[in-house]
């Protein structure tokens, strides 16, 4: 691949599979990748939420995302084929101006390397090219790293029905009883 696929590129580069940097490659996921993602969802969050947190993360990425939203999702692998990062996203069927980032993960030893930001930029480009003008996503109120990351990426927190820790707006029971979330939006 040429320098146009390098991780340091701007958001205007095409969101096509290819090389990121060094030994990392990006491609669209397939249903066969589901088991690998489930292992990552169990291990990459350092036990956040205990066993219930692991199960919750795994249930948030069922195989159907790899069957029906593969073209708007990305998977990053190392040269040896090891999973390094992923982004599961889709174009809203209900809101024609909106794209949605459903779940993103970067392996613990790959954090702060720019891979997550590169995946977001690829998704932003894909969304723009599909005529979308905004991207939405959510996170858990206790995931302070995610809240800080999304804020740095240009997302703003949407008002919730209550205020949580550190003044964070929380949407109570967003994903079901006891599953509060912070909702973000980013204009493209």
Give residue-wise pLDDT tens across range 136-176: 999 999 889 899 999 999 999 999 999 997 899 999 999 99
Q: Which domain holds residue 76?
A: 1-87+112-132
Domain shared by 166 and 74, yes or no: no
Domain shared by 125 and 39, yes or no: yes
Q: Is residue 100 part of a domain?
A: no
Domain shared by 123 and 154, yes or no: no
Q: Is residue 61 part of a domain?
A: yes
pLDDT of 3 above 50? no
**CA–CA dist 20, 5 (Å, integer):** 6
pLDDT of 6 above 60? no
Domain shared by 120 and 144, yes or no: no
Q: Is residue 166 part of a domain?
A: yes
As to burial, measured by CB atoms within 10 angstroms (0-12 exposed, 13-18 middle, 19+ buried), residue 127 is buried
**CA–CA dist 126, 65 (Å, integer):** 17
Q: Is residue 105 part of a domain?
A: no
Query: Domains in the chain: how many in total?
Result: 2
Q: Is residue 4 part of a domain?
A: yes
Mean pLDDT of the chain: 89
Domain shared by 125 and 163, yes or no: no
Domain shared by 38 and 127, yes or no: yes
Residue 8 pLDDT: 36
How is residue 176 annotated by DSSP?
A: S
Q: Is residue 93 part of a domain?
A: no
Domain shared by 79 and 151, yes or no: no
As to burial, measured by CB atoms within 10 angstroms (0-12 exposed, 13-18 middle, 19+ buried), residue 178 is exposed
Q: Is residue 177 part of a domain?
A: yes
| Cβ–Cβ < 8 Å for 115, 24 | yes
**CA–CA dist 101, 69 (Å, integer):** 11
Domain shared by 127 and 154, yes or no: no
User: pLDDT-derived band of residue 12, with 50, 70 and 90 as boundaries?
Assistant: very low
How is residue 104 annotated by DSSP?
A: E
Residues facing residue 18 across a β-bridge: 26
**CA–CA dist 14, 24 (Å, integer):** 17
Q: Is residue 30 part of a domain?
A: yes
**CA–CA dist 8, 170 (Å, integer):** 33
Domain shared by 116 and 171, yes or no: no
Residue 119 pLDDT: 96
Mean predicted confidence (pLDDT) in 127-134: 98
**Phi-psi group of 119: left, alpha or beta (phi > 0 → left; psi -120 to 50 → alpha; rest → beta):** alpha
CA quadruple 36, 76, 136, 129: dihedral, nearest 10: -130
Domain shared by 116 and 24, yes or no: yes
pTM assigned to the model: 0.87
Domain shared by 51 and 62, yes or no: yes
Residue 17 pLDDT: 57
| Close Cβ partners of 68 (under 8 Å, ≥ 6 residues apart) | none
pLDDT tens-digit profile of 102-122?
999 999 988 888 899 999 999
Domain shared by 22 and 59, yes or no: yes
């Amino acid at each position: 691949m040429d320098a146009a696929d390098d991780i340091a590129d701007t958001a205007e580069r095409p969101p096509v599979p290819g090389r990121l940097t060094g030994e990392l490659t990006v491609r669209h996921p397939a249903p066969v990748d589901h088991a690998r993602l489930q292992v990552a969802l169990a291990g990459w969050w350092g036990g956040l939420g205990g066993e219930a947190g692991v199960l919750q993360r795994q249930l948030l990425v069922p195989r159907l995302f790899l069957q029906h939203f593969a073209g708007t999702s990305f998977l990053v692998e190392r040269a040896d084929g090891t999973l390094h990062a992923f982004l599961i996203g889709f174009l809203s069927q209900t809101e024609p101006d909106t794209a949605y980032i459903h779940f993103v993960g970067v392996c613990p030893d790959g954090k702060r390397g720019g891979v997550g930001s590169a995946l977001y930029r690829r998704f932003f480009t894909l969304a723009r090219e599909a005529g979308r003008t905004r991207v939405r996503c959510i996170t858990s109120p206790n995931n302070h790293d995610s809240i800080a990351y999304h804020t740095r990426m240009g997302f703003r927190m949407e008002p919730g029905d209550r205020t949580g820790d550190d003044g964070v707006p929380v949407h109570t029971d967003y994903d079901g009883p006891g599953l509060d979330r912070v909702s973000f939006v980013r204009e493209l």
